Structure 1
Amino acid sequence: MAKNALQVADRLAAAAADEALPFRQAPHNLEAEQALLGAILVNNEAMDRVSAFLDPHHFYDPLHQQIYETAGKLIHAGKQATPITLRTFFETAEPISPTLTVPQYLGTLAANATTIINAEDYGRTVYDLATRRALIIIGEDMVNNAYDSPVDLPPQKQIEESETRLYDLAEQRKYGSGFVNFGTALTHAIEMANAAFAREGHLSGLASGLIDLDSKMGGLQPSDLIILAGRPSMGKTALATNIAYNIAKAYKSETQPDGSEKTVDGAVVGFFSLEMSAEQLATRILSEQAEIASEKIRRGMITESEFRKLVDVSQEMGRIPLYIDQTGGLTIAQLAARARKLKRQKNLGLLVIDYLQLLSGSSKRGDNRVQEITEITTGLKALAKELAVPILALSQLSRQVEQRDDKRPQLSDLRESGSIEQDADVVMFVFREEYYVERLKPSEGTAEFVEWQQKMMSVSGRAEVIIGKQRHGPVGMVPLSFESQFTRFGNLARDYQVPSFDR
């Protein structure tokens, strides 16, 4: 009995405490909403100052939502939005009070309007409060789902859904900056030219570490979508990892007076490895840098001195700003959200995607794959412009390459080539003739074998990067060296660079 009495007392105390808590309303500011609507009704130019970021649902009051939406439709149709022109749309609306109809309320808003100069400030206030309300809803949903979670909704799934909603909310304000004065654009162009002149190598973009390739492209340019394509075993992943590592290794930054970090050289690199695991990718890069065959690393067939070398190299590599996401089956929307997060948190400077065809769009199943690829490439190009970083996306080639005598790829060999070729700023193909010649090995002791040996000697350790499209520069072939045991591409020594031993 005493225990029951204590429980009842606890419940009564809890109920009394609940009654003592003040009722909390969702954040809103009706005065700011009224002032903004009044400014729009008096001078429609106020709409131009807020329409880029403010939507009807950002208003707290449902009537204000309707007024803003109706006024916006009239203005966008080239008509005047005033209390008189809006009156027609609210004649039958329910009165606000027994003494105030909606048409009368419109007149009151206009009569009490403030200057248009403050319109954007009021709009920002309305938007910020709407964002806070959205955060509250997301938080409440997280709590409710955690308390009453269905069997088919595990905690990891709840976390992913909450993350997605938060990312979407964080990105809603990214509408671009509108028109830019030509003089401003010229200033930016001169600043870019000055930076290229001052930078070692005179490159306007990120240096890939491959001198001849950088000379042809001027480096990897911000906002460019760069497609790197090739048949299996040509080494496109190896080339992408080489470039990514070189750029991340060269990263240097300096602290600005406002406390922010400015990139001086290289870049922070994000690598979406949709095919290989992060461990496999790290092993490749480790093999390249330590100059130990990756198969020896995987099988543990290394000496003690090689192991010490691996440890030393890995410690140096651990300080490099290279971030790997090994999640498979990503959609273009998920990839964009993760890239934006890395941009905010680490100041992302280069994005690498291995590879394009493993991404999926938002289209429903059964839709045309070509349309889905179009959505992906269009999304990647938009993301490159939004983040102002180069995006290097790998792509497969169709099998028609294998049916030709000359196996060098062409633009028409790209899978779903229409959208990829159209959206890309640069299309590059990696080609190694050694791969094909090696598979034509004849029987030893024959005349064909001697001829094959000579051919192998001429192509061994050589690769080509064929630039099939470049919006801002020339096309053509760039020769590279390739060390297959380390999966490493490098600069090919010219004939005049080879030392002479003649006396």
Structure 2
Amino acid sequence: MIESQKIEAVKNVESEATIVGALMIENKLIDRVADRLSADDFSETLFGRIYSAIVKEAALGRAANPVTLKPYLHDDPALVELGGIGYLANLTASTGAVLMLETCVQQVIDMAKRRKLIDGLTQAAMLAADMDATNEEVVGAADAALSSISDHSDGVVQVSAAKAFDEMLAAYAEQAYGVTSGGQIDCLDQVLGPIKPHHLDILAGRPGMGKTSAALSYALGAAAAGHGVLFVSLEMNRLELMQRATSDVIFDGRAGIPYEAIRDGRFTSDNAKRRVYEAGRVFRDLPLNLIDASSLTIGRLNMLVRRYKRRMEAAGQKLELVMVDYLQLLRPDFRTDNMNLAVSEVSRGLKAIAKQYDVGVLALAQLNRSVESRPDKRPMLSDLRDSGQIEQDADAVVFLYRDEYYLRQGKPPETDPKFIDWSAALERCEGNIDFIVAKRRNGPSGTATGRFFGAYQAVRGAMQ
């Protein structure tokens, strides 16, 4: 463990005193630091309380000085011990404090991050000593501690409107304002629009609706269009995922090599083998990375996204889209038996990843079983499983629905008079997959119909 005296050294009370003194001398400096410095950054809690009082007074448009701060602090035991309001007056005695403000603020912020890191890693070390804890939980706790001190961990970015406008124009010029399937699923691209940086979009459905197939087809199309994609699979291992992807890449909209043949290694001709090897060359050129994880915390995912973002940048690529299959299999960084709480924490964590790393996030999600008990099985927002927080965090929610799936489950005997009507209904919807945009922030909802090619585990737009 870290020696206590070394931990004690990760603070500078004099710098903290200088900050509150300088801000009482020159209130106009408060705006320069208020968006970067919080009361929790002070190691000496008294200075944190003084700082909070200063910020509150300034927010009310009033002067913040030893006299006006008296109502906040007159009975504060720590301040009384140091001499009460007279101590505040002493803090304003040195005009040199103003000149030292920026240096002291940066030092206090840096030391606060270090203390936070020490606390987090200490907790991780204690968890490592707990034999009931899994290795994944230990690694997740350590990763969460590391990510908490990242350059953008405060989540606050301040720019002028002019600079933000320039950034918008630059994004247009680079054609980087969002990711689409590159025309792979053109009907979805049209009704949903691009998945933009900082956005969390949800692709949800019941089992059997084709969520993974749709997500993988989208990822392959986006990567083929030059967008850097990270596909995180918690449900399937990388071998199964690659077998599906290979069948999808070979499929040309009319014919290909069935997924089951690729899965089982059953190739009917040398030409089929050749096409599989040709698919390998396609994958080598794609800016697509896969993560195969049977268990993953949101903190661990945060660290993996950071790692792959840097790795792709080193390869001359830009990570633009993170896809997660699927949301409810991710775990929070703490233990809980409350699934609603767990899913809420994961949902917020995915939204934070989108903002922190300037990427779009497309997360698959399961729907409640209650869908199956309704005559009309088209999903609704209330069907999102375990948490309304998903709907709140999401910038868009798209449901997948296949009428064919439910019709086949209710197939009547051929001798039944209903068989003719059933056959006609099946013919109308066979191969169709509906993309129901139930929520789209700052945009209309709507429905688009694409094509699901189950034999090839591929999804395409209706126009193809």
Instruction: Please give the TM-score of this superposition, normalised by the length of structure 1.
Output: 0.72
Report the Cα distance in structure 2 between the residues aligned to 1:431 and 1:138, rounded to whole angstroms: 43
Distance across 2 between alignment mates of 1:132 and 1:163: 15
Which residue among 194, 217, 224 is the counterpart of 1:242?
217
- Per the TM alignment, residue 57 of structure 1 is displaced from its structure 2 partner at its CA by 6.8
- How far residue 387 of structure 1 moved from its aligned partner, in angstroms, is 3.1
- 1:13 is aligned to none
Q: Secondary structure, in 3 states, of the residue corresponding to 1:407?
A: coil
Distance 2:119 2:417 in 1: 79
Shift of residue 445, structure 1, vs aligned partner = 7.0
Distance 1:76 1:435, change over 3 A: same
Tell me which of 209, 220, 235 is aligned to 1:275.
235
Shift of 1:191: 5.4
Match of 2:290 among 324, 327, 332: 324
Rounded to whole Å, the distance in 2 between the matches of 1:492 and 1:326 is 31
How far the C-alpha of 1:425 sits from its partner, in A, is 1.9
> Which of 130, 145, 148 does residue 168 from structure 1 map onto?
148
Q: Structure 2 stretches of 5 or more lacking a match? A: 1-5, 251-255, 313-317
Tell me the CA shift for residue 480 of structure 1: 0.8
Which amino acid counterpart does residue 197 of structure 2 have in structure 1?
P
Secondary structure of 1:409 counterpart: coil
1:307 aligns with 2:273: yes
RCO comparison, higher one (Cα < 8 Å, 6+):
2
Amino acid at match of 1:355: Y
Which moved further from structure 2: 49-58 or 401-410?
Answer: 49-58
Query: Aligned runs of 1:69-468 on 2, under 5 Å?
Result: 69-78=48-57, 82=65, 93=81, 109-114=91-96, 116=98, 119-128=101-110, 131=113, 161-170=141-150, 173-178=153-158, 181-186=160-165, 188=167, 194-195=172-173, 199=175, 204-208=177-181, 209=183, 210-251=185-226, 266=227, 268-290=228-250, 291-302=256-267, 303-346=269-312, 347-361=318-332, 365-367=336-338, 369-416=339-386, 418-444=388-414, 448-468=418-438
Mark the runs of 5 or more structure 1 residues left unpaired by the alignment: 1-22, 95-100, 252-265, 495-503
Conserved? CA contact 1:26–1:133, under 8 Å: no
* Structure of larger gyration radius: 1
- Is 1:53 the counterpart of 2:70 in the alignment? no
Residues in 2 aligned to 1:155 and 1:404: alpha-carbon distance in whole angstroms: 42
Do the aligned residues in 2 keep the contact of 1:35 with 1:113 (CA within 8 Å)?
Answer: no
CA RMSD of aligned residues (A): 4.0
1:234 deviation in Å? 1.0
Q: How many residues align?
A: 436
Structure-2 separation of matches of 1:240 and 1:337: 22
Secondary structure, counterpart of 2:202 in structure 1: strand
CA shift for structure 1 position 237? 1.0
Equivalent-residue separation in structure 2 for 1:299 and 1:107 (angstroms) = 80
Q: Of 27, 39, 44, which aligns to 2:22?
A: 39
Please state whether the residue corresponding to 1:437 is helix, strand or coil: helix
Bigger drift between 213-222 and 416-425 goes to 416-425
SS of 2:437 mapped into structure 1: strand
Decide whether aligned partners of structure 1 residues 463 and 152 sit closer, same or farther in structure 2, where only a CA change above 3 A counts.
closer
Q: Mark the CA change 1:348 to 1:120 in structure 2 (over 3 Å): closer, same or farther.
A: farther
Q: 1:391 to 1:57 in 2, by over 3 A?
A: closer
Given that residues 186 and 462 in structure 2 are in contact (C-alpha distance below 8 angstroms), is that contact kept between their aligned partners in structure 1?
A: no
Question: Which secondary structure state, in structure 1, belongs to the residue aligned with residue 219 of structure 2?
Answer: helix
TM-score (norm 2): 0.77
> What is the CA–CA distance in structure 1 between the aligned matches of 2:401 and 2:281, rounded to whole Å?
33
- For the 8 Å contact 2:397–2:437, the answer to whether it is kept is yes
- How far apart are residue 325 of structure 1 and its match? 2.6
Distance across 1 between alignment mates of 2:344 and 2:297: 13
Residues 89-113 of structure 1: per-residue CA shift (max 9 Å, x gap): 566547xxxxxx8988866653333
Identity %: 32
